[in-house]
Chains A and B, each alone.
Chain A
Amino acid sequence: MPKIGEEREPLSEPVFLILTSLAEEPRHGYALMADIDALSNGRVRLSTGTLYGALSRLLEAGRIERFASDDTARDKRWYRLTPAGRALLAADVERLRQLTRAASARLRTKEV
């Protein structure tokens, strides 16, 4: 199975939202879920299974890192973006920007 970002395919929505959430600051599992809910205006509510499936693949691909903080409970782990994860997110944002520009231009042509 190819690793996330290996084949330059568009990121899935959960992966895109996880990277976007971590681009701001490191977060633990529940904080990620809550932030993704807020980021997507309540449209995307990840289940625990979906979240940890995506986190495991992102960890394996070296796009995020997992760490324990001294002041948190034993079962709470934090996740942060690696430089490779930030680069992957930036590349996908650029891809979406290009698509948005092309779509907007075509919509404008049709309106004229």
Chain B
Amino acid sequence: MKAVFRAVLHLYPQWHRRLFGAEMKSVFERGRQVHRASRVAYARFVAKELCGLIPGALRARLRDEPCEGLLHEWPATATNVPAEIVPEEVARARDLVTAHLDHLKSAIARRQFERARFYSTQDLRAREGLRLVRKKYGLAE
């Protein structure tokens, strides 16, 4: 079944496979293991997967390749600590990172690359600022 899944995955455009291929295989494999106990449940699972994959591949092929920046993988550090347990200064620095990131993504989405470059620089500065205040309060990065 894994081979069939991999073959169907090849119906997706290359950008989709590059971004999500490994994850999709891993999620499918976990689902397969969960449904293995019963033959009926397994057959239903496989049928549902195929019914989802084939139209999904078709829809992905009909779409334009998304802007690379929007599908960028962001680091996990900036917004993972709940606001209530960090000092005000850290929360402010973190908000600044989020704000610059939002501006950067919006600029990329609108293909305003000059503006995107500006916010990219601001984003790096804000991240450095966040790193320093986190260090000041002894918080892990």
Contacts and interface: CB of A to CB of B under 8 A. Distances in A.
Best-buried of A26, A50, A78 by chain B (most CB within 10 Å): A50
Nearest to A1: B63
Contact of A59 (B55, B71, B80, B102): B71
Contacts of B71: 56, 59-60, 66
Contacts of B54: 49
A28 B23 CA distance: 9
For chain B, give the interface size range.
35 or more
Contacts of A76: 23, 26
| Interface residues of chain B: helix, strand, loop or mixed (majority) | helix
B24 interface: yes
A42 to B, nearest CB: 12
A16 B19 CA distance: 23
A51 interface: yes
Interface in B73-113: 73-76, 79-80, 98, 102, 105-106, 109
Nearest to B82: A25
A26 B81 CA distance: 12
B50 to A, nearest CB: 8
Given A45-B48, A49-B52, A52-B24, A62 B76 contact: no
A66 B73 contact: yes
B63 A74 contact: no
A52 B106 contact: no
B76 A77 contact: no
Interface centre among A26, A70, A75, A76 (most CB of B within 10 A): A75
Interface stretch (A80-88, A92-100, A104-112): A80-88
B124 interface: no
B31 A83 contact: no
Contact of A67 (B49, B52, B73): B73
B13 to A, nearest CB: 11
A45 to B, nearest CB: 7
Given A33-B27, A62-B70, A47 B75 contact: no
List 5 A-B pairs, minimum CB-CB distance, nearest first: A47-B52, A49-B56, A49-B52, A49-B53, A75-B22
